[in-house]
Structure 1
Amino acid sequence: MENVAKKLPGKKKIYLNGNQNRREELKFAWKVFKEFIKGFRKLYFIGPGITVFGSARFDTENKYYKVAVQFGKEIAKIGFTTITGGGPGIMEAANKGAFEAVGKSVGINIELPHEQHLNPYVNTSVTFTHFFTRKVLLVKYSYAFIIMPGRFGTMDEFFETLTLIQTRTIEQFPIVLFGTEYYQDLLFTIHNMADKGTITKDDLKLVLLTDSVDEAMQHIQKYVDDNYKLVQKRKPSRWLLEK
């Protein structure tokens, strides 16, 4: 007999809720598979991208919102696709910059209990049920990552991406941590990790902390120029970076 924890009456169902019977586990696995396939099909032709992470809570007058708009424009200017989580705040700002610069603007949205709406500046979008499937797609098509000030979700995306790069699970793509005032305590903690030996001194080189959009984009451009070339494949809309 299977040991299954049963949900109490009146409790709202959540997506990851412990072990279930075999049929429910199979249904869950199939749902995850379909989410991945939907994402792969929708994003296959977006070309090489740069993902911008950041808070959904900043309004249009916030200084970081304005910087994210500038990042979107600069990303479009060098021929890359701007990828965000598709929501408001920093995500909207980066998409807006790309949209206004007539670049490709992608939003990878998430269904939440307090419904996160898709911002109006994306020309390609896909919505996920699970954070972990969404995060795979936010990383999969990107050659660099810009981390703007944010909350728990941004920290999660930053550290997961950094872990993938540190462990060489993905290429050693550049990570830009933007906002020295906002992130100085976090960077102190990371340096303390190196001092205590839980990471190496070389791991500190995986992140560029800056307050300059130009420095961030030059850092990304140098990595791309040193490691890749832009090539066109079959359809005019499909561009790839090759080593």
Structure 2
Amino acid sequence: MPEVIFNGSDGRLEGRYVHGEGPTPPLALILHPHPLHGGTMNNRIVYSMFHMFARRGFSVLRFNFRGVGRSQGMFDHGQGELRDAAAALDWMQTHNPNSTGCWVAGFSFGAWIAMQLLMRRPEIVGFMCASLPANMYDFSFLAPCPASGLIVHGERDTVSPPESVVKLVNKLSQQRGITIDYHCIEGADHYFSQQMDEFEQVCEAYLDKRLKPADRPLALAR
């Protein structure tokens, strides 16, 4: 897949990009886990989500946050990383001017950034979060959550205990017109170490449900 370099707010950012099918492909932006704990765009969960969307005809981008790999800059505790994600989405839109909508997906820290981007960009119509760190970060900005999406968590996640995620899901699920699909995978840890197959099955089934022909144009059903 093509390597790309694009400009962020504080330097160049390194990514991997696949252009979608047809003249108006939807977009998907995939965000990696914490840069100070080994998170990169080549994380296996990020890689898996990248290819889920690519197989469904999306234009898909995953990239390294500032200070990771060949991306310039330094870790900025989420603020700069959110600007990186916004710059990545801008870059994708430049190369897909007729896109039919956008999804955002992230793992752990990347899921936190994804949900912040969701609040700032109305063109994002769906999201997919793995191991949402609901106990580590304040998610009160999701008021209200503007789009439906999927949250997948591990039953034995000791980094972000599922109880904190359930509390957030229950809060978000009270909103009218928004559906939060929550799936807790039995026996799985924060990284889905032994349950990667089940993780992928859950995510793929959700995408197929949201993108069924009755929901055309492809990515616009909220």
Tell me the TM-score range normalised by the shorter chain. 0.3 to 0.5
TM-score, structure 1 as length reference: 0.43
Q: Compare the two structures and name the one with the higher strand fraction.
A: 2
Task: Kindly name which structure, 1 or 2, has the bigger radius of gyration based on alpha carbons.
Answer: 1
Q: Compare the two structures and name the one with the higher helix fraction.
A: 1
TM-score, structure 2 as length reference: 0.46
